[in-house]
Structure 1
Amino acid sequence: MNLNNNSFYIFKRSTFSAILISFLICFSLQSTAQKSTVVTDVGAVKVETLAENLDHPWGMAFLPDGRLLVTERAGTLRILKNDSILSSPVEGTPKVFAKGQGGMLDVALDPNFEENRMVYLSFSEPGNNGTASTALGRGKLENNRISDFQVIFRMEPKVEGPNHFGGRIVFIDDNHLYLTLAERFKFEPAQDLSNHLGTVVRIHPDGSIPQDNPFVGDENAKDAIWSYGHRNIESAAIDPATGNFWVAEMGPMGGDELNRPEAGKNYGWPVVSWGDNYDGTKIPDPDTRPEFADAEIVWTPTISPSGMIFYTGDHFEEWQGDMFIGGLTSTGLVRVQVDGEKAEEVERIPLNLRIRDVEQAPDGSIYVLTDEDNGKVMRLKHLK
């Protein structure tokens, strides 16, 4: 583990102290005006608002023609054109469980989108008697609507509750993808391979199961599972330099983690954590249980990670190869330098807003989504 002084403090707080500090930080940040420029390690960066009045935007993906697909947690998909014109809701999207943290989640393009026009959506799918689970589906984007949408994967089982859905979609190549899930705030099921709660799953684009998945053939495990023992993963990306898969997942009271999920490995939740339970009770630290895979970076206080990219553009040449993570409670971007299997936080870019997703634009600028009732699409560019 990388003991980064800027991001990793191994200590336990009392419940009162942690809540008081979090309240004071959030109050201070919310009372600060949105920044129009920020000072970064590469100099001044301009922050522009391109679209607003979105209802808790969650995921985004650029189309080949430069238009931007944006999901809203309330259950809609919109298209941003010319960096200023926001469409009405796209037709053909699925019905969602829009309660608490649930709703329409991520959006991704098929690697062969220009040939097949396939768009993938993750969402909280309603079930019977108020239950829900995370699902993944796909359909064709034609004439600004989704046609023939079909669900290709459903988390099992559906359970009650409005929290922890995960939902990031990451294509590995044109024949495999990862979907990050969460334990639905149910804790113990994350250690049970007979369900999908608290896992990363790996499937083919049509929803079928790769036969080299680690638990294929195990009658006590779900064949789609790649790794397990996770809490809530809303940040995920592949490092193009190495092909390594990285996720940042939310801890409880403290203990957000940057992990590199590997086939069949158990990441310990809820048996171990670098954080504490919300009621102040202690959780054993991961280094007390070496059978569990440990994190590369741990954040206490939390950053509440959501959204992740590896930057490959020319607009910010100094940042090429770096990881950017959106921060909800840290209200900005966290920049991480990655060297193979090692990672180190090197900078925080303060935006004074809850950042739900981050994406690289075709011109190399960086786009972010803000998590709020009046959600925004914002762009970071060099100040010329």
Structure 2
Amino acid sequence: MSSQEAVKVVVGLGDRAYDILIGSGLVARAGAEIAARLPGIRAAIITDENVAAAHLAALSESLEKAGIASTAITLPAGEKTKSFAALQQVVDGVLAARLERGDAVIALGGGVIGDLAGFAAGIVRRGMNFIQMPTSLLAQVDSSVGGKTGINSAHGKNLVGVFHQPRLVLADTDVLDTLPRREFRAGYAEVAKYGLIDRPDFFAWLERNWQEIFAGGPARAEAIAQSCRAKADVVARDEFETGDRALLNLGHTFGHALEAATGYDGTRLVHGEGVAIGMALAHRFSARMNLASPDDAARVEAHLRAVGLPWRMPDIPGQLPDAERLLAYIAQDKKVSRGKLTFILTRGIGQSFIAKDVPASEVLAFLRENHPE
């Protein structure tokens, strides 16, 4: 697939609609694509040390060829960069470059960089243009689409942020070839999520084609495009997560609690792995509540296991806090309303729903049953 044949998915938000381009060679074409939509701008590229080494020079050259002057702000890689300190560094860097409101912040990186750069773009000069160039599978299929930005707090993940939609998303499938296998697997958890939410045929297709997706064949671009279409449909219906956009959090309430419990230590657990375990737990909890068949939970677990993802709490290296502490992390998660626990549960593969007022006692008993100790 050449860049000229990139797949286009449109996020339909009226006069704020934007394109997601998915294909090969898009880093090299970035300058032309951005200049066509935002002529005359200057830009700040926000990236991390790992991505900068692999892709920053190519992006900077592409921007320069298109007449876009740019400055780069390079941060440490990892979840701990989603912090107030890093946000201040980005904000100060953008302001020091004398960029104006009509200029752009470009996120070149995975979900951490995208969330952080998007938050900065949303607050500097009360809102600058924002462009996502996701370099991880997870970011290409999930976090780069939809305008949710933010940083972590000591109280939990993603608790500080704003909704700030990008003007353009460029998902270059070539950059995934440099992604560590563990990071690719972690991103795949978010691909599987779209099937488990409301696309059972997609999940069955993934069960048949996951090896080609990992190998980099045509199925990889198709999986990314299908995931983006699913995300775009939900965002267009419910931009600010007041309704069914919450379904995109399948697996995240358990997963975020496990990330907090491991201190966001990426050597122990990265986001997509937390989501994988969280999705398995959500299906098992649904079966425990007699909402779904245990066979569906077993099918989800079997697929996660086949692709090499963790699927249960004992798969996390090191000790976890006790069940009561894990419940406290869940209660702190942003998917809680007035103290009532809200989960995304399921009636079967592709039949997820928003469950409000889930009894804390049931969750605690379930956590005790599934705790590694």
What's the TM-score once normalised by structure 1's chain length?
0.25
- Report which of the two has the higher share of helix: 2
